[in-house]
């Protein structure tokens, strides 16, 4: 898949190359008439787009003065410099653009951040003001320029009300981010309302503010109110028990050594958090290039905030730059035991993605064995990892261990008993599997995936098919776009010899899961029983070509191709 994407990118940039190289050559034939310069430009663009910043920097750095003719070069070169932590070089390049009257939003932003971190607030304010005219109202750039101007000018504001008024100019579409900044403003000015503002922020129901329990607790610790801080951490973990930053803070507060450094009196660190918010939003929109740009600016302003690195590693993981992600996760492992376990899980997942399952199993086993007293969440993580990697017998031991530590009213109970039930089913212990799956549904009756697993198992065993059908109808209403559930529903109808209706569902299932061998086989069977023999044979032959098709299914299909299906 990654190679296919790369081919599409190359084709895409080839067309850009055809359009832009003529412009470059026409405007500066002396400098850019040789193939090496054109190749460096083209390769630099592709490398930046692929978030391979060392490569893009190598290609771009030799192309002096190309900024005179091509904006994309300037923008992507700046992305590369920032990503490599070369902020001074990026600031110098931004100055070069300014001298040529070619400065853009990115260059003025880089200058603002560079001067801010170096405590040159006069110049930081100067460049922050330049940002205002380089964005559209209501845009992300508008949010950032407004926020930067407000916070940098807070140094010249003596009262909270004036500061809050300046934040009111943040566009309405960013109301949640405005509320976060207003809370930080109260903290910055040491307002007596700070405590109430944090409480109001974290109790908001229109967004997930779990992250801001950390900032609230951190504020309480700074005020030497450790008792209230610990109570806040405890309550927040009751609500968000697997939140990384909160779990690590709990451990850090006990050891009096906080790994995530944040001071609401430090303007640079507050702006870093604003950049993180922007970066996280861009990542959720799959814009990893821009996400990494803002994230690296955040890391420059506050290099000691681990969750910045977690997002950075996740971005690289998603775009399949596994080695870069692994390097970051290795550094994260050094930041505390909670982060270490999280990073170990991610590294193991990378090994699996790289077809190094043995390395994955060994690395996570070693990491797990280093935990002196694992929590139920770490035990569950490890059990699930073992199950997902077909170590069913081992996973059963850890699922059982978790079950011995929790009660049936624990929110985790349904998940744990379901996981063990699946492991029992995969090891041919059906009686135990059925008991666990039914207990899981008793605890969480609307879990569509568990309903599907139990119902499909019944169908395959030829028992309780009518009951399974009713259960799958319920599951389909709960999750109407799940291909597995739709397939199971169609298969139940098939087993009940309602072939016409079965075909409708199985045809839909194939649209959701076009490369799934079992789903395609089910659909082919339905086609055959609806007198569509030619089409059925087409789909059976297609299943034989799929890499994921197991040998047992291949043999069954070969028989179907020879003899068809009997009614």
Residue 489 above 90 pLDDT? yes
Can you list the pairs that 332-336 forms with residues at least 24 positions away whose Cβ atoms lie under 8 Å?
332/306, 335/248, 335/259, 335/306, 335/309, 336/248, 336/251, 336/252, 336/259, 336/306
Please, where are the H alpha helices in 240-356?
244-255, 267-284, 288-301, 306-318, 322-332, 337-353
pLDDT at 566: 78
Equal fold, 1-134 vs 475-567: yes
Q: What are the φ/ψ torsions at residue 293 (nearest 5 degrees)? A: -60, -55
Do the beta carbons of residue 297 and residue 107 sit within 8 Å?
no
Return the DSSP state at 240. S
Which tokens is 407 given? 């009660």
Hey, how many other C-beta atoms are within 10 angstroms of the C-beta on 511? 11
Rounded-to-integer distance, Cα 58 and Cα 54, Å: 6
CB burial of 161-180 (b: ≥16 within 10 Å; e: otherwise) equals: eebbebbeebeeebeebbbb
* Domain coordinates in residue numbering, the chain: 1-134, 475-567
Secondary element (H or E) of residue 528: helix 517-529
How sure is the predictor about 9, in pLDDT bands with cuts at 50, 70 and 90? low
Rounded-to-integer distance, Cα 77 and Cα 67, Å: 9
The CATH architecture that domain 1-134 belongs to is: Alpha Horseshoe (1.25)
pLDDT at 277: 96
Rounded-to-integer distance, Cα 393 and Cα 48, Å: 45
Q: Which residue has the higher pLDDT, 121 or 37?
A: 121
The CATH architecture that domain 475-567 belongs to is: Alpha Horseshoe (1.25)
Do the beta carbons of residue 340 and residue 347 sit within 8 Å?
no
Do the beta carbons of residue 312 and residue 82 sit within 8 Å?
no
Secondary element (H or E) of residue 92: helix 87-99
- Choose the most confident range, by mean pLDDT, from 135-149, 194-208, 379-393: 379-393
Secondary element (H or E) of residue 57: helix 53-60
CA torsion 167→170→176→179, rounded to 10°? 10
pLDDT tens column, 221-279 = 999 999 999 999 999 999 999 999 999 999 888 776 777 889 999 999 999 999 999 99
Residue 19 above 60 pLDDT? no
pLDDT tens column, 315-326 = 999 999 999 999
Residue 18 above 70 pLDDT? no
Q: What is the per-residue DSSP string for 188-215? A: HTT-TTHHHHHHHHHT-SSS--THHHHH
Q: What are the φ/ψ torsions at residue 84 (nearest 5 degrees)? A: -90, 5
Do the beta carbons of residue 113 and residue 93 sit within 8 Å?
no
Residue 8 CA to chain centroid, in angstroms?
23
Hey, how many other C-beta atoms are within 10 angstroms of the C-beta on 518? 17
Do the beta carbons of residue 414 and residue 440 sit within 8 Å?
yes
Rounded-to-integer distance, Cα 245 and Cα 254, Å: 14
Residue 4 above 50 pLDDT? no
Q: Taking residues 281-294, what's their average pLDDT?
A: 95
Which tokens is 512 given? 């959701």
CA distances to 8, 9, 41, 49, 427 from 3, in Å:
9, 10, 22, 15, 36
Rounded-to-integer distance, Cα 37 and Cα 388, Å: 49
Residue 239 CA to chain centroid, in angstroms?
21
pLDDT at 33: 52
Do the beta carbons of residue 565 and residue 533 sit within 8 Å?
no
CA distances to 35, 48, 61, 285, 302 from 141, in Å:
36, 21, 27, 16, 21
pLDDT at 486: 98
């Amino acid at each position: 898949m990654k190679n296919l994407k790369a081919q599409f990118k190359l084709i895409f940039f080839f067309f850009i190359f055809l359009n832009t190289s003529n412009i470059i050559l026409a405007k500066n034939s002396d400098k850019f008439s040789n193939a090496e310069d054109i190749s460096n430009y083209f390769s630099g663009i592709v490398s930046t787009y692929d978030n391979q910043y060392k490569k893009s920097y190598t290609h771009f750095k030799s192309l002096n003065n190309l900024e005179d003719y091509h904006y994309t070069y300037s923008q992507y070169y700046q992305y590369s410099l920032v990503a490599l932590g070369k902020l001074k070089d990026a600031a110098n390049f931004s100055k070069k653009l300014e001298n040529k009257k070619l400065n853009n939003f990115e260059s003025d932003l880089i200058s603002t951040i560079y001067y801010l971190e170096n405590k040159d607030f006069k110049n930081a304010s100067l460049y922050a003001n330049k940002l205002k005219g380089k964005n559209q109202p209501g845009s992300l750039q508008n949010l950032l320029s407004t926020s930067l101007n407000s916070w940098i000018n807070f140094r010249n504001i003596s009262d909270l009300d004036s500061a809050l008024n300046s934040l009111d100019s943040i566009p309405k579409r960013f109301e949640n981010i405005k509320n976060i900044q207003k809370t930080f403003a109260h903290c910055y000015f040491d307002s007596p309302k700070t405590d109430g503002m944090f409480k109001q922020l974290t109790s908001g129901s229109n967004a997930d503010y779990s992250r801001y329990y950390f900032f609230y607790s951190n504020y309480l610790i700074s005020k030497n109110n450790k008792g209230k801080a610990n109570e806040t951490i405890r309550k927040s973990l009751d609500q968000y028990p697997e939140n990384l930053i909160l779990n690590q803070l709990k451990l850090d507060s006990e050891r009096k050594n906080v790994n995530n450094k944040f001071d609401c009196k430090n303007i640079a660190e507050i702006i870093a958090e604003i950049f993180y918010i922007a970066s996280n939003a861009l990542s959720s929109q799959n814009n990893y290039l821009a996400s990494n740009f803002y994230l690296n600016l955040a890391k420059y302003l506050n290099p000691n905030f681990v969750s910045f690195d977690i997002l950075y590693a996740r971005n690289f993981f998603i775009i399949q730059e596994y080695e870069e992600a692994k390097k970051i996760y290795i550094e994260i492992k050094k930041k505390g035991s909670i982060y270490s376990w999280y990073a170990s899980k991610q590294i193991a997942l990378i090994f699996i993605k790289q077809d190094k399952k043995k390395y994955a199993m060994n690395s996570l086993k070693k990491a797990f064995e280093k935990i002196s007293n694992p929590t139920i969440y770490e035990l569950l993580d490890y059990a699930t990892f073992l199950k997902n990697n077909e170590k069913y017998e081992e996973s059963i031991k850890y699922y059982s261990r978790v079950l011995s530590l929790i009660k049936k009213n624990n929110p985790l109970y349904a998940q744990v008993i379901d996981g063990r039930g699946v492991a029992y089913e995969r090891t041919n212990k059906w009686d135990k599997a059925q008991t666990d799956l039914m207990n899981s549904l008793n605890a969480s009756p609307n879990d569509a995936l568990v309903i599907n697993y139990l119902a499909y198992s019944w169908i395959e065993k030829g028992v309780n098919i009518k009951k399974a059908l009713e259960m799958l109808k319920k599951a389909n209403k709960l999750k109407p776009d799940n291909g597995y559930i739709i397939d199971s529903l169609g298969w139940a109808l098939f087993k009940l010899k309602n072939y016409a209706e079965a075909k409708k569902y199985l045809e839909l299932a194939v649209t959701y899961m076009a490369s799934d061998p079992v789903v395609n086989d089910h659909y082919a069977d339905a086609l055959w029983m609806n007198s569509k023999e030619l089409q059925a044979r087409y789909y059976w032959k297609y299943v034989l070509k799929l890499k994921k098709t197991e040998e047992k299914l291949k043999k069954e299909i070969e028989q179907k191709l020879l003899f068809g299906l009997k009614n």
